[in-house]
Amino acid sequence: MRIAVYPGSFDPITNGHLDIIERALKVFDKVIVAILINPTKKGLFSAEERVELIKKVTKDLDNVEVESFEGLLVDFLEKKETNIIIKGLRAVSDFEYEFQMALMNNKLNSNVETVFMMTSAEYSFLSSSSVKQVAFFDGSVEGLIPSMIIGDLKEKVRKVKEAEQDGSK
């Protein structure tokens, strides 16, 4: 069975990420979406919340698992008994960073292969950080993230703004 790990921050998952998951399922038997728990970078959603959001949007897809991980990606791969990383490439600007990570992972474990998939053109401009900015300034995120999590994003942004206001009182 060919298992691929699709790692990332997914804060939150976008339609671009979902597109990569769906396309990876055409090539691999199982895709494990792996959310990095990064203690030094506080995200909008907690790792547990991101897991739940991704589970929600992939519930109708067979052969997708969602997990969080800490530490090195190559160690997570070993735990999952696979050597394949899936990454999405949006534009040339992604290349340098992704190339560096792929080489580093291969250096850490020479068995590890990174497979790049091209993001569909319609999502090539999309990133979690731009989605968050749009949401914070009350723009429409319709078509940017799966519609079933738009409510979750709006609610989270509302809570964060509320907390900020309380803090400045």
Residue numbering of the annotated binding site for ATP: 9-10, 17, 88-90, 98, 123-129
Torsional sign, CA 143, 31, 120, 123: positive
20 binds ligand PNS (CB under 6 A): no
Q: Does residue 41 have an active-site annotation?
A: yes
- C-alpha distances in Å from residue 30, one per residue of 20, 48, 65, 71, 129: 13, 21, 8, 22, 28
* Least gap, CB of 131 to ligand PNS (angstroms): 13
Q: Does residue 26 have an active-site annotation?
A: no
Among 104, 118, 148, 163, binds ligand PNS (CB under 6 A): 104
Rounded Cα gap, residues 125 and 169, in angstroms: 37
* Least gap, CB of 147 to ligand PNS (angstroms): 22
163 binds ligand PNS (CB under 6 A): no
Burial label, 127 (beta-carbon count in 10 A; 0-12, 13-18, 19+): middle
Q: 64-93: which residues touch ligand PNS (CB under 6 A)?
A: 72-73
Residue pair 35/41 in contact by the 8 Å Cβ criterion: no
Binding site for ligand PNS (CB under 6 A): 7-9, 36, 72-73, 101, 104-105
Q: Which residues are catalytic?
A: 17, 41, 90, 128
